[in-house]
Amino acid sequence: MPAPSPQRYRSGGLRQAVAKVTLDNALTAFARIRETDPRITPVLTLRHFSVVTGLPYLFLRRTVARRAHIGYRFVYLRKRIPGRSSMRMISIPPPSLAAAQRWLVDNVLRYVEPHPASFAFHPDSSPVLASEQHPNTQWLLKVDIEDFFHSVSEGRVSAIFSKLGFPKLLAFEFARLCTIGLDRGPGRNPAPHPGPITLYESNIEGFLPQGAPTSPMLANLAMVRTDTLLSALADARGFRYSRYADDLAFSSDKPRTIAEMHSLRREVCRILNDAGFRPNRRKTVIRGPGTRRVILGLLVDGPTPRLSREFKDNIRLHLYYLTSPDHGPAKHALARKTGTSSLYHHVRGLIAWATQVEPAFGAAALITFRSAPWPLIQPQEFGEEDDGF
């Protein structure tokens, strides 16, 4: 629901006998928000947010006050390389709260640019683009941020919305709608948050839930100052820097000493710790000549990113079984303990990724893939409009 023009807003307010000072303050807030980006839909109060989203005001207010049972659904996944914990908590918001969060994504956050070094969670971002920032890499430092989303507190989120021009109370309320307040155990809770009004007082400060539609973009914006510091550090030392979500990469196409790399690692970790982000030591690595220099699964030791041999061999193996007269899609799916449709999507996804990185290899693989004797069903059941069978 787009906001009315300032003229129509003033005219409507005057017809409803709204005080002139109130209208002036509202229009000043509108102008402040639109200075960030005119495409952002201005919102002035939580009740105003209720009107533009169609969500009940009482539901929004009780959610902000953390007085309602929010009803997040939690899924726990085992981490491939654990940090402080071996499990990753995915928090899925209920439909009503997800609708509020999606509104903020569609009408506010999508128009706010992250730092230029960030290559995830915004339109046209891609792991390939991130890897392309590191051609002919001789030395590589990779750093992973542990519990990336959970490191961003509701105070940081409130500051993001406030910086975009939203009134401070509403910025806080938006932050509460986008964060989850859980007791994470001794020593892991920030100091109690007093809240701007008594109703909003809480013993626990919330954090971004991994699984909410707003979390990726808000985490990006929470990293802007840190990305700026890390970019400046990389420039000062003659390195290239990129970040894809919680994966940071620093590379050089010139000879370096191992002492230089260790010094860079220490300074990067210091900047992250000072900003409230904790590096995962187990996933922080230095790679030099004679080792595989890989960023986001792509080799970056040449002029352009390349697929690894293992990745290509995996696709070739799938294509062999899919097209072999002795196997075919049905037997191959049965051997992998999955369905034919699931196998189709899995291999098709691998080829799609390969096509982004190495178009010639991907195009050839797709021709072979389509030549497999897939079941005679409608292409739409496989999720493609026309895939040639």
Q: What's the predicted TM-score (pTM) here?
A: 0.85
Any residues with CB less than 8 A from the CB of 64 and at least 6 apart, and which?
Answer: 46, 173, 176, 177, 200
| The pLDDT value given to residue 97 | 95
| The pLDDT value given to residue 99 | 96
Predicted confidence (pLDDT) per residue in 330-355, tens digit? 999 999 999 999 999 999 999 999 99
Any residues with CB less than 8 A from the CB of 86 and at least 6 apart, and which?
Answer: 78, 79
Q: What angle do CA 335, 353, 216 make, to 5 degrees?
A: 110
pLDDT (tens place) for every residue of the chain, 389 residues total: 455 566 666 767 677 767 777 777 778 888 888 888 889 999 999 999 999 999 999 999 999 998 766 688 888 887 665 555 667 788 899 999 999 999 999 999 999 999 999 999 988 789 999 999 999 999 999 999 999 999 999 999 999 999 999 999 999 999 999 999 876 555 555 555 556 677 888 888 899 999 999 999 999 999 999 999 999 999 999 999 999 999 999 999 999 999 999 999 999 999 999 999 999 999 999 999 999 999 999 999 999 999 999 999 999 999 999 999 999 999 999 999 999 999 999 999 999 999 999 999 999 999 999 999 998 654 444 455 444 33
* Local structure of 142: helix, strand or coil: strand
d(CA 216, CA 227): 15
Quote the strand ranges of 65-188, DSSP E.
73-78, 87-92, 139-146
Q: Let me know: does 359 contact 366? Beta carbons within 8 Å.
A: no
d(CA 316, CA 303): 25
**Maximal C-alpha separation, the chain:** 81
| The pLDDT value given to residue 209 | 94
β pairing state of 294-295 and 298-299: antiparallel
| The pLDDT value given to residue 385 | 47
HSE (side-chain half, CA atoms, 13 Å) at 182: 15
| The pLDDT value given to residue 388 | 39
Q: Let me know: does 230 contact 219? Beta carbons within 8 Å.
A: no
| The pLDDT value given to residue 198 | 79
| The pLDDT value given to residue 96 | 94
| The pLDDT value given to residue 322 | 96
One DSSP character per residue, 18-67 reads --HHHHHHHHHHHHHHHHH-TTSPP--SHHHHHHHHT--HHHHHHHHTT-
